[in-house]
């Protein structure tokens, strides 16, 4: 078992390394454009040369990479080009905000999807199951911005109940909650369907075991079977599902934060791209990609550990 976990960790580490290479290569690939992009029309030959030197763009690319990676690991994320301010300072607040958004979404989605998934599994192929199945099919097909736009139109424009966009700096808890409602709702719609389907699938898989059939034959009620017999064994796969969707949250959050002007990491990423603010872009991109990799890695490890067949394989 230890070797299994170690193996996955090793794979994770290699993945992170490759990811850092990708992020670095992708963003620093075209130095000529970079300097023009950043300097705009203040780009004279002198200012461009100064910027090239400051960013270290004149050195061989592998040297640049190692310096960058080295600094990163030491916690020096560089200086934002647009604001002339250390990247870590910019990240601080945004990271917190995205974390709050993610947490709020999870608090809403997990219990809800668990409940719905269990319900479907308890009465598979029944009317409830089929209708939830169809509805979730619809929901996973929709782009996040569609859901976001509809919610904004309904709640912020037509009914003027909630603020259309989130505001930087939350003054009170009530303020925070009001600002979070629509973004959380949008993310929930996006993830709920996936989670319900996968919870249901995991539960059904577990419920195929013979001991469940035994319990049924012995006359145990549905709820007892689902909750007492199946759920504990399905917990592993379900946690796997949750971790996988956490990863999805990371990338899904980008569009949602832009629609609602929510000051988080996703929006920072899009802003950094728009401003061609390389150091900021690299830092945010790497953090988000790393978080995704870590969550999927966790999900995978949990899945393997919870699968007895894999756990005890020699």
Neighbours of 103 (CB within 10 A): 13
Output the smallest distance, CB 229 to another protein, in A. 22
Interhelix angle 265-275/231-259, rounded to 10 degrees, is 40
For another protein, the closer of residues 89 and 228 by Cβ is 89
Tell which one of 118, 120, 187, 293 touches another protein (CB under 8 A): 293
For another protein, the closer of residues 101 and 215 by Cβ is 101
- Does residue number 159 form part of the binding site for another protein (CB under 8 A)? no
Tell me the two tokens of residue 200: 């249901």
- Does residue number 292 form part of the binding site for another protein (CB under 8 A)? yes
Binders in 121-150 for another protein, by CB under 8 A:
134, 137-138, 140-146, 149-150
For another protein, the closer of residues 220 and 306 by Cβ is 306
- Number of chain positions touching another protein (CB under 8 A): 79
Tell which one of 72, 88, 155, 163 touches another protein (CB under 8 A): 163
CA neighbor of 124 nearest in space, from 191, 190, 188, 216: 216
For another protein, the closer of residues 15 and 306 by Cβ is 15
- Does residue number 154 form part of the binding site for another protein (CB under 8 A)? no
For another protein, the closer of residues 35 and 233 by Cβ is 35
Q: With the C-alpha atoms ordered 69, 70, 75, 79, is the resulting torsion angle positive or negative?
A: negative
Tell which one of 15, 64, 88, 307 touches another protein (CB under 8 A): 15
For another protein, the closer of residues 122 and 215 by Cβ is 122
Output the smallest distance, CB 311 to another protein, in A. 19
Output the smallest distance, CB 71 to another protein, in A. 19
Q: How far is CA 91 from CA 95, 255, 266, in A?
A: 6, 18, 11
Binders in 250-279 for another protein, by CB under 8 A:
250-252, 254-255, 258, 261, 263, 267, 269-271, 273-274, 276
If 0-12 CB within 10 Å is exposed, 13-18 middle and 19+ buried, where does residue 95 land? middle
Q: How many CA atoms lie within 13 A of 118 on its CB side?
A: 19
Interhelix angle 87-122/173-206, rounded to 10 degrees, is 50
Write down the residue that tokens 């796969």 correspond to: 237
Lay out the site mask for another protein across 25-54 (x = CB under 8 A, - = otherwise).
xxxxxx--x--xxx-xxxx-----------
Give dist(CA 168, CA 171) in Å, integer.
9
Residues 226 and 199: beta-carbon distance below 8 Å: no
- Does residue number 221 form part of the binding site for another protein (CB under 8 A)? no
Candidates 57-65, 68-76, 77-85, 103-111 — which segment interacts with another protein by CB under 8 A?
77-85
Local structure of 287: helix, strand or coil: helix
């Amino acid at each position: 078992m230890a070797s299994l976990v170690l193996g996955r960790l090793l794979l994770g580490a290699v993945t992170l390394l490759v990811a850092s290479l990708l992020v670095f290569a992708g963003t620093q690939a075209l130095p000529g454009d970079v300097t023009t992009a950043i300097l705009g029309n203040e780009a004279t030959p002198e200012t461009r040369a100064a910027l090239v030197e400051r960013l270290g763009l004149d050195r061989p690319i592998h040297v640049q990479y190692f310096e960058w990676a080295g600094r990163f690991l030491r916690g020096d994320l560089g200086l934002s080009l647009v604001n002339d301010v250390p990247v870590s300072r910019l990240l601080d607040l945004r990271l917190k905000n995205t974390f709050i958004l993610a947490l709020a979404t999870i608090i809403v989605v997990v219990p809800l999807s668990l409940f719905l998934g269990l319900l479907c599994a308890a009465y598979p192929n029944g009317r409830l199951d089929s209708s939830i199945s169809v509805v979730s099919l619809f929901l996973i097909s929709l782009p996040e911005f569609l859901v976001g736009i509809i919610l904004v139109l309904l709640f912020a424009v037509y009914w003027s109940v909630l603020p259309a966009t989130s505001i930087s700096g939350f003054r009170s808890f009530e303020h925070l909650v009001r600002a979070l409602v629509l973004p959380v709702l949008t993310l929930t719609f996006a993830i709920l369907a996936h989670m319900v389907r996968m919870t249901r699938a995991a539960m059904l898989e577990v419920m195929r075991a013979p001991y469940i059939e035994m319990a049924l034959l012995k006359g145990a009620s549905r709820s007892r079977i689902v909750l007492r017999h199946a759920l504990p064994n399905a917990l592993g796969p379900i946690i796997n599902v949750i971790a996988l969707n956490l990863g999805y949250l990371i990338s899904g959050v980008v569009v949602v934060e832009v629609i609602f002007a929510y000051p988080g990491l996703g929006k920072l990423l899009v802003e950094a791209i728009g401003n061609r603010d390389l150091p900021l872009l690299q830092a945010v991109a790497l953090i988000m990609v790393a978080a995704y990799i870590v969550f999927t890695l966790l999900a995978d490890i949990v899945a393997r550990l919870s699968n007895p067949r894999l756990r005890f394989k020699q």
